[in-house]
Structure 1
Amino acid sequence: MSLADHYRVLGLRSGAAFTEVKVAYRRLARRYHPDVNPSDQRAKDKFIQVTQAYQALAELAAPEIALPPAAVSVASPEVSSAGSSQESANAQPAAQPPDLIPRVQVNPKLSQVDQLLKQQLYEQLQQFLQTQRLPRAIALVEGLSQRFPQDLEVRQWQAITYQRWGRHLMEQQEWDKAERYLQKALRTDPHNKSLWRAVSQNLQALKQARGQVPQA
């Protein structure tokens, strides 16, 4: 479709501000979403058109607005310890594990509607993680795993979300619960080496932090 067609699909005039594009997209996506219209093929086709128009205009308006290739990462926790003065002097910035979530890839086993839904929910998951709305992120990713139980990419997102929640629980000193979620992350995506390194750091930090808690 041409640029004018993308604006027309969203019910906007050509050259409308991107804020208007976002508002129009959200309104139309809610109206034509496959979950709202499960047996309406015309609604599904419209949902696809609306999503494609939004993505095209998002990339045109500003590349950083479009879904980035790896915006959700697993960061090592910062747990203080009684280190030596030499260690402090020689300290380097903590190495961060590589980004663990790639751009949503095309899964040939999914319909086009499901592929677009998956990307839309991925973007929402990023927002939840970036704004520390972790309980909502957990609920979303577990719903995704039920919708796409065989999707390896979704399993990776689920494991990362468990890791992030476990790290948050460490900050709240909920040690037992934190350890359960960290172990759950490993069980969910056992072959992800980057995740294993990050969770191993988390578990080591958790062990050290537990040892620093005064015994009653």
Structure 2
Amino acid sequence: MHVSECYRLLGVPRNATMDDIKMAYRRLARKYHPDINQDDPTAADKFRRVQEAYQVLKEVDAGIRPKQDVAPPATTKVQRPPTPTPSPAPQKPPQKAPQPSTDRFNKIKIDVRDVRTSQDPLSTDPELKLKLDMLRRVQELLKQKKYVVAIAVVEGMRERYPKSPEVLHWQAVTYYRWGSELIIAGKLREAEIYLNKALNTDPKNRELCFEVKRDLERLKQKPLG
């Protein structure tokens, strides 16, 4: 499978990082897993192609194969010069020719088994899968600037996972993003409320606290309407 086809199957651009590729692969692997799509006869083939594409891009990232889409030149067999006295011994090498293909297929089977094993934690822990899906949902809402909905989602997650550092982080980020948007809209009193919420939610996040405090200082220099 060519590298360009692998990027297309996983739905990522050519300059995608390995983390982006891994995230896309996990999403598609869950989507096309045969156990989830028992009524879809094409799901198993899609699942296999997604796995194959991911393996190719992993090898490209590790430097095992070249990244260009040009197929490597076919190797030509060098014929040995005829020996003056032929004997049965030289006839053995041709019998070993099929062996590399067998080893290659065995390696592919091992790779597939390893990939499926790596998916087991998500498939066997529904609570972890739910949390990760909800966090992705919050990030997508922030990209779409749907801050009110994102706040509702992340506050619901805080009730369900009160001690999760990931949830605390994204709750504080959501409050900060909404507070910054309120400053732009001129709603300074509401902005101050949400900026303080961000500060109190994740006080150990130094980078976020720096940004929040800077915006709060800016608010002090403006008359609150």
TM-score where L is the length of structure 1: 0.50
Structure (1 or 2) with the greater helix fraction:
2
Higher relative contact order (CA closer than 8 Å, sequence separation 6+): 1
TM-score where L is the length of structure 2: 0.48
Give the structure with higher Rg (CA): 2
